[in-house]
Each structure stands twice: as structure tokens, then as C-alpha cells.
Amino acid sequence: MASSIDSHVPVLLQPVLDGLAIRPDGTYVDATAGRGGHAAEILARLGTDGRLILLDRDPQAVAACQDRFRGDARVTVRHAPFSELESVLHTLEMDRVQGVLADLGVSSPQLDQAERGFSFRQTGPLDMRMDPGRGESAAAWLARASQEEISQVLQEYGEERFAWRIARAIVAARSEKPLESTTELAALVAKAVPSREPGKDPATRSFQAIRMLINQELDELGTLLDQAGSVLAPGGRLAVISFHSLEDRMVKRFMRQGAKGHQIHPDLPIPEIQIPSAPWRLVGKAVRADAEEVARNPRARSAVLRIAERLDERQAGRS
């Protein structure tokens, strides 16, 4: 995402719009509204009876969307993580919606603001919280976590093969003085890593892993996926854009298992009519940005879009 509304480039925009199959009178949720790039295009396809619910855990993104869509009665903006989707819809007295979009990961505005602490390219405080008003900062976690904990997080969330070396360097450095800035951590990681991936800063995986832990990103995603089935009406679509292999694997596994339904051993004496039907239908294959979009928006390079449709019992029985 770009650093302003005017320059904002929503990732995989047309595939998202096509995949959601937007109805003019439908109700849609952009669960990661950001600066409203996807939201604005969804709204443009809604009629007077359509509704658009925007969620974001970042208060700056919420303020930007409130300003951008001010005066449009079809739009409701809420400051909430997407794990609270079900709760937000309940407070709005909405049972079911026709579509949910989640564009995962950190946004360009967050990376561009040094004071947010997401970027290793700019000097800023080690914060990394998407909602600065909630939870523990990266600096606070790094100050208390054990060497084993740090190594595990770097390995599991960042897939960092030098996790133990980096964790040991962090613990040694903090014994002399607390780690407080992004560039301080980035330099420490670079020094601890014996070899570098071509074209990638040595701090990339470590910053990604710590950010994912601080914001509980995989837990948040798991909760969203669990709630998607209960909030989507039959025929409603779930569209998820992932930028990390762990997130994409979670989404792929959820959608594929949902499309298979309950697997019953063929030798069990259960009538077919009593076997629960598959609750989801896969919509197309995973979509990735083409060369033209990547050239226009480098952030799209690692984006993967997956879409699934919620089925009712009659649809599921025919799938």
C-alpha cells in the first residue's frame, strides 16, 4: 500500500472485485481497510441499498477511512482487529454478509512512518504494533524473552536459518544496554548473519518474525477464518490476500478442507444423507500478480489471493 490515499495502489484489485462477485444491494466487509483502496472500488459497485463495513486495528487507518468516506451513509468504519469481525457485526445487528476481504500483513504507510518501528531502513523506536494502544512493543518483548524464545520465533515466523545466532547476539547486546531502535536491531542482525540472501536485507526475516509475534498475526488469521463461515450468507465469498508463506498455507488448508467437507471412512455404516456436506466451494485457483502489476506496484510481488464461496446445504449436496 502507498503512503497516501492519492498514491494508494490496492493489490490484485481486479481479481478481488471479480472474486467477490459484488451485488449492488449486498453487504461487504473489508476487514483490513488500510487507506481504503479496495474499499473505494467495492463501494463504487454498490447501489443505494448496499453496505460496506470497514475494520482496521490501526487507528491511523481508521481515521483515514473515516475522512475518505465521510458523508456516505452506506459506509461504517470501526476500529477493531479482524478477529473481532463477528462481534462488530453483532453490534451492528447484522447476521450475514455477502463478502469478506482480508489483505494481510503490514501496509506501506506503516512501513513509511519511522516512528511506527516496522522498517529496518529508517531509524525509529522498536514498536511494531499495528495498534500502538494495545499490547507489548517489540522492544519490551526483546528485553524479556529468553534466547530460546527469540530463536523459536525467528525460526517459526521468519523461517530464519540463522535464528540461534541472531537470538544469542540479541541477548548479549541487551545485557549491556536495551535495544531501542530499529536500525540498532538491524545492524545487530546483519552482524550476526554469516551469509546473505541475494537482493534481501539480512534483517528482513527477523523483523517480519518479530512483527508477526507482536501483532499475533497467525492467531488473528485463524480466528477470522473460524468466523467467516458464520458471518457469510450462502453464496457469500471470502477473499484473502497473503504475503507470507505461513499465512498462505493456513488459508489454503482452511479453504481446501472446507471444500472437501467431513471425510467419513467408506466402511462406516452411515447413510450418505447423514454425512455433513462440504461448507465451502473453491472459486478458481490462487491468483498472483502479473509482471505488469509487479512493475507498477512492487508490493504485489509476493501477494497470493485465494477465494472461497460459502455454500448452503442444497448447494453443498450438489458440489
Residue 313 has pLDDT above 80, yes or no: no
Same domain for 135 and 155?
A: yes
* C-alpha neighbours within 13 Å on the C-beta side of residue 145: 22
Co-location of 222 and 210 in the same domain: no
Q: What is the pLDDT of residue 262?
A: 58
Domain termination site, one of 163, 184, 214:
214
The cell numbers describing 286, all together, are: 490462487
Work out how many domains the chain is built from and give that number. 2
The predicted structure's pLDDT at residue 200: 87
110 is in an annotated binding site: yes
Strand runs (DSSP E) across 81-130, as ranges? 97-103
- Digit-coded pLDDT (tens) for 85-144: 999 999 999 989 999 999 998 888 888 888 898 899 899 999 999 999 999 999 999 999
56 is in an annotated binding site: yes
Are the C-beta atoms of residues 69 and 75 closer than 8 Å to each other? Answer: yes
The model's pTM: 0.89
228 and 313 belong to one structural domain: yes
pLDDT tens for 213-235 read 999 999 999 999 999 999 999 99
From 155, 181, 214, give the residue that closes a domain. Answer: 214
Is residue 119 assigned to a domain? Answer: no
Judgement on whether residues 271 and 195 belong to the same structural domain of the protein = no
C-alpha cell read off for 69: 468516506
CB-CB contact of 113 with 121 (8 Å): no
Is 69 marked as binding a ligand? no
Together in a domain, 103 and 231: yes
Is 185 a member of any domain? yes
Whether 38 maps to a domain, the answer reads yes
CB proximity list for 274: less than 8 A, separation 6 or greater: none
On the question of pLDDT at 304 being above 80, the answer is: yes
Residue 15 φ/ψ, nearest 5 degrees? -60, -35
Report yes or no: 209 and 154 within 8 Å, Cβ to Cβ. Answer: yes
Q: Is the Cβ–Cβ distance between 126 and 185 less than 8 Å? A: yes
Per-residue pLDDT tens over the stretch 246-259: 999 999 999 999 99
207: containing domain? 131-214
Query: Domain holding 59: CATH number?
Result: 3.40.50.150
- 301 in any annotated domain: yes
82 labeled part of a ligand binding site: yes
Is 290 flagged in the annotation as binding?
A: no
Would 114 be classed as within a structural domain?
A: no
Q: What is the CA radius of gyration of the chain?
A: 21
Q: CA–CA separation, 72 vs 55, rounded Å?
A: 16
Pair (221, 207) in one structural domain: no
Would 115 be classed as within a structural domain?
A: no
Q: Is residue 113 a known part of a binding site?
A: no
pLDDT at residue 17 in the model: 98
Best CA proximity match to 118, nearest among 97, 104, 139: 139
CATH for 194: 1.10.150.170
Whether 160 and 171 share a structural domain: yes
